[in-house]
């Protein structure tokens, strides 16, 4: 029976005395081994590498936020004293807050002649604005609103290598050579963004686009006190980034 079974062997061995090694065969064998190794390493790299896939949909992703968005602002005004700098917040839900001071810090610059304002605050998910101004000061001087914006971000901070988004689009904006008496309008379109890692944990952030203008405003009573305005509106479109890895079965089959 074993002898009869061996007749079905389709991978029969060639007797060793009938084989002869050659230099051409050796070269082909080495090239084949290197090529196989290259293919294997390529597939292994593809299996290990995390892929980030993005999609768009219409929804409010962070429903547990209570209708709020966290904002982080860091701005320097090198020619305006800290006693005069304030943050005001307004929106279409009737909020009107002048001189917001919670979770904020003022750092004197240029021997006290200037100021860096750092603030953490929240805004409602409705169109509105927040602005840096002297409106909360007891006396209204002729303010110099030249400035540098170091950071303006919304929601969680995302530092993901594979995602190149506009999470801090105004970071580095330099208006030091602007007219000192001019107001600045930054028109922001905020886009909700979700990042989901391989474990399924989600982080909620916001990207934004920006347009800006600079102007000296007047009314029938004279020149209007300048300010730095950030006017925002929210997009109904949500961008979602999801980390994915190649399934094990696909890696095995390709190998």
Q: What is the tens place of the pLDDT at every residue in 175-217?
A: 999 999 999 999 999 999 999 888 888 899 999 999 999 999 8
> In the prediction, which pLDDT does 117 show?
97
Position 131 pLDDT exceeds 70 = yes
> In the prediction, which pLDDT does 197 show?
86
**CB of 180 closer than 8 Å to CB of 79:** yes
- The answer to whether position 32 is within a domain reads no
- The answer to whether position 65 is within a domain reads yes
> In the prediction, which pLDDT does 30 show?
94
Confidence of residue 246 (pLDDT cuts 50, 70, 90): confident
Between residues 54 and 68, the one the model is more confident about: 68
- The answer to whether position 109 is within a domain reads yes
Position 220 pLDDT exceeds 80 = no
Report the domain count for the chain: 1
- Range of the structural domain that residue 233 is part of: 57-242
> In the prediction, which pLDDT does 66 show?
84
Between residues 232 and 252, the one the model is more confident about: 232
- The answer to whether position 43 is within a domain reads no
Confidence of residue 18 (pLDDT cuts 50, 70, 90): confident
Encode 158-170: b = buried (16+ Cβ within 10 Å), e = exposed. Answer: beeeebebebbbb
> In the prediction, which pLDDT does 1 show?
62
- The answer to whether position 19 is within a domain reads no
Confidence of residue 223 (pLDDT cuts 50, 70, 90): confident
> In the prediction, which pLDDT does 59 show?
85
- The answer to whether position 102 is within a domain reads yes
Between residues 16 and 210, the one the model is more confident about: 210
């Amino acid at each position: 029976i074993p002898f009869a079974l061996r007749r079905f062997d389709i991978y029969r061995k060639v007797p060793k005395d009938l084989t002869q090694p050659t230099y051409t065969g050796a070269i082909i064998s080495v090239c084949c081994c290197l090529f196989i190794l290259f293919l294997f390493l390529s597939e292994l790299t593809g299996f290990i590498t995390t892929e980030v896939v993005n999609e768009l949909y219409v929804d409010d992703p962070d429903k547990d936020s209570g209708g709020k968005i966290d904002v982080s602002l860091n701005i320097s005004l090198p020619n305006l004293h800290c006693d005069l700098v304030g943050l005001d917040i307004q929106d279409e839900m009737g909020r009107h807050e002048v001189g917001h001071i919670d979770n904020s810090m003022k750092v004197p610059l240029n021997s006290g002649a200037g100021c860096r304002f750092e603030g953490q605050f929240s805004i409602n998910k409705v169109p509105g604005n927040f602005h840096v101004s002297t409106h909360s000061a007891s006396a209204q001087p002729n303010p110099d609103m030249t400035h540098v914006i170091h950071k303006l971000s919304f929601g969680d901070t995302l530092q993901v290598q594979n995602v190149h988004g506009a999470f801090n689009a105004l970071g580095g904006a330099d208006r030091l050579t602007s007219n000192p008496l001019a107001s600045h309008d930054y028109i922001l379109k905020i886009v909700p963004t979700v990042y989901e890692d391989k474990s399924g944990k989600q982080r909620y952030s916001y990207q934004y686009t920006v347009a800006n203008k600079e102007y000296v405003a007047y009314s029938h009573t004279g020149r209007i006190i300048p300010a730095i305005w950030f006017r925002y509106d929210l997009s109904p479109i949500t961008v979602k980034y999801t980390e994915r890895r190649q399934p094990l079965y696909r890696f095995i089959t390709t190998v």
